[in-house]
Structure 1
Amino acid sequence: MIKKRIILIIVLYLIIGNTAQAQQKWSLSQCISYAIENNINLKDYEILERLSLEQARQAKRNMLPGIEASSGAGLSFGRSADPNTNDYINTEFFSSSFDLSSSIVVFDGFRIQNQIKYQQFRKQASEYNRLKATDDLAFNVMVAFFDVVYYKGMLGIANEQVEASKLSLKTTEKKVEVGLKAKTDLLDMRANLEREELNKIQIENTLETATLKLKQLMNLISTEEMELVDDSTVVINEQVTQPQQLFEQYTGWSPYYRSIEANVKATEKGLALSRSALYPSIYARGSIGTGFYETNTDADGNTVAFGDQWKNNKNQYLGASLSIPVFSRWSNRSEVKKAKLELERAQNNLDDERQKMFFDMVNDLTELESLYKEHSQYVKRTEVDELAFQAAEKKFDQGLIDINDYYIAKNRLANTQSQVLRSRTQWEIKMKILQFYRGQRFWEMEESLQ
């Protein structure tokens, strides 16, 4: 029995161990790819794109002639018109009719052609909107990813601070016992350790919240801990980029910008559609029909056979109609004026978005340069603060400085380390934004290299 329990424990241990080893490590590109495949909001954009595609196809189908077939049958009672003679009779009789008709637009002020172009631009805008939503999701995941990376780094710094304080506390306890340190120093160190433990707990909670946000964006239903891999090999350096050149490059391919352009073009076709109502419309129509009437009899008074009546009663029609808008209480011209204002509004929105995009780009480039300078300075400062803390630690052990000076050096080092981490992660985010401005979807590039 004991052997069975031992074997069971070993098997469970191996299963748990293999599961832990098989836990997936998530890179940035993997997180973004998973989010794109599983995000619910993106599926809604895909549905809207398919809807606009069907509307564009139907706009082309409207050029085809319309064909209608109809059939009717009835039994007449009492006084009614004879379909053969149009005389009124009091005889009960059965009749049926069969008709096939067709109509086609000859000219309608180019309304159908403009409608086709309008729906095509709407389809383009819908496609660009889906691509923009995909890019927005990728950036949201990227920010959430680096938030987790940042707070994990902060947690590492907090752990180092706690461990260093624990070692110092043990050393101080021994020195207090032999009278080399005052008991007040020991109490201060214990209080500081508690503060650092609390700070560690707060960072753990923030890290958990950041991880949950990342999972939500990815639509990752899992309670397991995510192990992120920041496999970025980019070396932080100073980037020199001309904003105007970068802006022209970005607006040449950006789904967001091209979506706005497509909306402007669709609005132009909307104006042309409104003007179509001012022109005459010409339609061509044709029909063919036949019927069977029980009152249609031969010389002997017998009802003519169905087949014979099908041939004999056949009728055809060809015709055309012209419709000229004369007066519609100015509604057509009012629609044209409103369409002109909508076009003016769309063009103004395009100019406004161009201005916003340009200054956002300039701001990103400025922040990128500032982050480079900050990071370089903080790296240098870390080396100095590390040496200063080591010296302060030795002086405190020798009783040459008080505990306040010791903690000033210790906290200054931790703060500088956190600033290095912050500037590093923010620089990576801005650098990937710069890559995106250049037309590089960094998550696709990273995935292809794996």
Structure 2
Amino acid sequence: MKRFTNYLLFLIVLILNLQVTAQQKWTLNECIAFAIKNNLQLQNASLNEKLAEVNYSQSKWNLLPEIGAGVNAGLNFGRSVDPNTNGIVNTSFFNNSYYLGASIDLFRGFMLQNQISYLKFRKESSEDNRLNATDDLAFEVMSAFFSVVYYEELLKIANAQKTLSELNVKKTQILVTTGLKAQTDLLEVKANFEKEELFCIQTSNNIASSWISLKKAMNLPPDQQITLAIPVNETIVAPIVADMPGLFKQHIEWSPSIRLFENELLASKKYVNMSRAGFFPSISLQAAYNTGFYETNKNADQQTIDFNSQIKNNRSQFVGASLSIPIFGKNSVRFEVKRAKLASEQSQTKLELAKQTLLYEMEQNYNELTASWKEFQQAGRQLEADTLAFHAAQKKFDQGMINAVELYTIKNRLANTTSQVLHSKLTYEMKKRILEFYKGKRFWEEEE
């Protein structure tokens, strides 16, 4: 009995935990944090960053000498060359040789040094690309998040309007029966009810599409259900004023989207210097150590000299240098330098274009922030007026003083105003967070 009681308590606790989990609401910051951790494109950007780090580390190691060693062993049969005397012999014999060598580039037109700088800038560019991809993902999630919130709230407004229209259909049917309303009023009310039913269906479809976009960005399974914490209860106190030219100068100093192109430009300049290395001669130094054991190496008694003695006596060393001077290579180096210069000019243009795009993007977002605040204030006042007007019109319609067209003109205006209040409020919340980002605050990293 005690065991059964413990098992029952365990099931109750498990069910309660599942209910708490199911009822948990995801905030915007939690959605963004989950997306950053699980998004596949961001994971790919992280792998590219690690790959660039490996390439940069390899370039520094390229300055060191290359060292290699080898061992050869063989058994010769029949007519062959004696490796000890280089003479022709017809007997079988065993030979064994050892090799140790090293080489280093002394000068290659500073190609290796420029390659280190080039890959360093590429590494920093990959890091900026990951940070920029993270920022883009955060805004993608935020856009999808607010899109879901907007359409879900809009559906509530639409359902309320549809419920009101359904009530008016029943009222009008009674009024038509009693002769207080014409049949045309009933048809008009029913037509508006069907129109609002269609709008509810369209809004539900938009909700489904918005959820797909959000789950894709978060890398959530399509069938996994979550609930969002709707940030619509915050009060807009006053408009946000910002010095956009100054904010732009401040933002481009740390913006990954700009630093990305700056590092690409610096890397392209280093690549030009790398290409010029082909005009210069190259100098390298080599050194080698060889020894071996040969069964044909015999003493005066025609006995094969022992292994240790041969390894010691057959030693040979080599030290040398090589010089390679380019004379004519079909102008391949010259054209490579030209291509590198043109690529560098393209990088410069891309940087200027990125700055220009960012400048107008910041101006547009600030303009939309200011406009949404003004619209919210005016829409709020209009909502109060439209609400009073609708209540008055509904009473007049019930008393037969106005027809259905006049009633629904006022009713539709109220619905549009309500949705406008919602739209301007959510737009303000989005643009406010974007402006905080321009100031250097990644809002999704802050505690809510």
Give the alignment's TM-score, normalised by structure 1.
0.91
Question: Which residue type is aligned with residue 373 of structure 2?
Answer: Y
Equivalent residue number for residue 253 of structure 2 = 252
Equivalent residue number for residue 171 of structure 2 = 171
Mapping for residues 173-192 of structure 1, pairs under 5 Å: 173-192=173-192
Q: Structure 1 residues 87 and 18, CA, compared in 2 at 3 Å: closer, same or farther?
A: closer
Deviation of 1:193 after TM superposition, in Å, equals: 2.1
Secondary structure of residue in 1 paired with 2:279: coil
Q: 2: distance between equivalents of 1:74 and 1:170?
A: 106
Q: Deviations over 1:204-248 (max 9, x none)?
A: 222122112211221111535432112363626323222221111
Q: 2: distance between equivalents of 1:303 and 1:273?
A: 56
Secondary structure of residue in 2 paired with 1:22: helix
Q: 2: distance between equivalents of 1:277 and 1:340?
A: 15
Q: 2: distance between equivalents of 1:80 and 1:21?
A: 86
Equivalent residue number for residue 215 of structure 2 = 215
Q: Structure 1 residues 416 and 16, CA, compared in 2 at 3 Å: closer, same or farther?
A: farther
Equivalent residue number for residue 132 of structure 1 = 132
Secondary structure of residue in 1 paired with 2:298: coil
Q: 2: distance between equivalents of 1:99 and 1:29?
A: 63
Question: Which residue type is aligned with residue 258 of structure 1?
Answer: R
Deviation of 1:38 after TM superposition, in Å, equals: 1.2
Question: Which residue type is aligned with residue 292 of structure 2?
Answer: G
Q: 2: distance between equivalents of 1:129 and 1:102?
A: 39
Q: Structure 1 residues 297 and 15, CA, compared in 2 at 3 Å: closer, same or farther?
A: closer
Secondary structure of residue in 2 paired with 1:304: coil
Deviation of 1:349 after TM superposition, in Å, equals: 1.6
Q: Percent of aligned pairs with the same residue?
A: 47
Question: Which residue type is aligned with residue 246 of structure 2?
Answer: Q
Q: Which runs of 5+ in 2 are unaligned?
A: 1-9
Equivalent residue number for residue 410 of structure 1 = 411
Q: Deviations over 1:256-305 (max 9, x none)?
A: 11111111111011011111222222212111110111111111110001
Question: Would you say 1:198 and 2:194 are equivalent positions?
Answer: no
Contact 1:236 1:372 in 2 (8 A): no
Contact 2:289 2:315 in 1 (8 A): yes
Q: 2: distance between equivalents of 1:78 and 1:191?
A: 107
Contact 1:59 1:119 in 2 (8 A): yes
Equivalent residue number for residue 7 of structure 2 = none
Q: Structure 1 residues 282 and 125, CA, compared in 2 at 3 Å: closer, same or farther?
A: same
Equivalent residue number for residue 31 of structure 2 = 31
Q: Which runs of 5+ in 1 are unaligned?
A: 1-10
Deviation of 1:98 after TM superposition, in Å, equals: 0.5
Q: 1: distance between equivalents of 2:17 and 2:274?
A: 66
Q: Deviations over 1:68-112 (max 9, x none)?
A: 111212233444333333333333322121000001122222111
Question: Which residue type is aligned with residue 428 of structure 2?
Answer: W
Larger mean Cα displacement after TM superposition, 190-199 or 276-285:
190-199
Q: 1: distance between equivalents of 2:19 and 2:434?
A: 35
> After TM superposition, what 4+ stretches of structure 1 lie above 6 angstroms from structure 2?
11-18
Question: Would you say 1:272 and 2:273 are equivalent positions?
Answer: yes
Contact 1:274 1:336 in 2 (8 A): yes
Q: 1: distance between equivalents of 2:47 and 2:406?
A: 64
Q: 1: distance between equivalents of 2:327 and 2:184?
A: 100
Contact 1:65 1:103 in 2 (8 A): yes
Q: Structure 1 residues 263 and 415, CA, compared in 2 at 3 Å: closer, same or farther?
A: same
Secondary structure of residue in 1 paired with 2:70: strand
